[in-house]
Homo-oligomer: A and B are copies of this chain.
């Protein structure tokens, strides 16, 4: 088992942020190439109405393709019970339902209050539990805007803890924290993770979704590592951010994250040279779309050897 699990979210968080629609064939090629590089979890899309996000309208077909890879966790985002129903029907292994700590953002993003989102969580949890044991997907509740909101500003630690507890009570298997707006700083990451761990148990919060909006993405990863986080979301080429949070942009770049961890001697199971090659698929499928990342530009250090 690698030390750290990298969850590629470019196909969801990246593609939903750009106007162009990537072809199904390109999405499948992207998944295949990342799996070949050693990636074991990919969030391949979102079950939202096609009129809201036409970029992700083919998510069921993407899930079907991705499921052909043995060992790959095929994750999807679901905004509500209806989306979860479609995700389960498609055969997704992991469902993530976002609950925005900022109720203003929740209304704008999911058009629901906290109470309404928690109702959906309960409905999804019941649906998940009703699945036969071997086909039961993993269900994560993700507290988005957990580190601050572009609409409300400061989000308090107590609010996030309260919502994490509410998610657990509503039946999720696990809680994630998401820096939707790129407001997080390392001190806050440490403090908030510790507070949530104290409330729901360290084994119930193992993953962070961090953005690089203000350049602090990898510094925040360091803070997450300090407090026992073992799963990090990242996006190939840094595609994406959150289109519903004005001013926010920039996922953590998968290539830079893998480079940092491997250079530190933390295994990810991902072959960095192969991962860097996957960028060509994006460049070809989305000509002119800016791809980010420092390591791809600078290249690997002379004499660099990946952790075993």
Contact = CB atoms under 8 A, between A and B. Distances in A.
Contacts of A293: 215
A259 B298 CA distance: 25
Contacts of A213: 294, 298
A215 B214 contact: no
A154 B187 contact: no
Given A218-B215, A218-B216, A153 B294 contact: no
Contact of A247 (B187, B214, B216, B299): B299
A152 B301 CA distance: 10
A260 B216 contact: yes
B214 A295 contact: yes
A149 to B, nearest CB: 7
Given A186-B264, A263-B185, A264-B185, A249 B298 contact: yes
A153 B301 contact: yes
Contacts of A256: 214-216
Contact of A154 (B212, B250, B294, B303): B303
A253 interface: yes
Interface string A160-192: 000000000000000000000111011110000
A148 interface: yes
Contacts of A188: 263-264
Contact of A187 (B182, B214, B250, B264): B264
Given A256-B214, A298-B247, A303 B187 contact: no
Given A213-B294, A219-B222, A302 B149 contact: yes
11 contacts: A152-B302, A183-B301, A187-B265, A188-B263, A214-B260, A216-B218, A216-B259, A216-B263, A216-B294, A247-B298, A247-B299
Interface of A: 148-154, 181-183, 185-188, 212-216, 218-219, 221-223, 247-250, 253, 256, 259-260, 263-265, 293-295, 298-299, 301-303
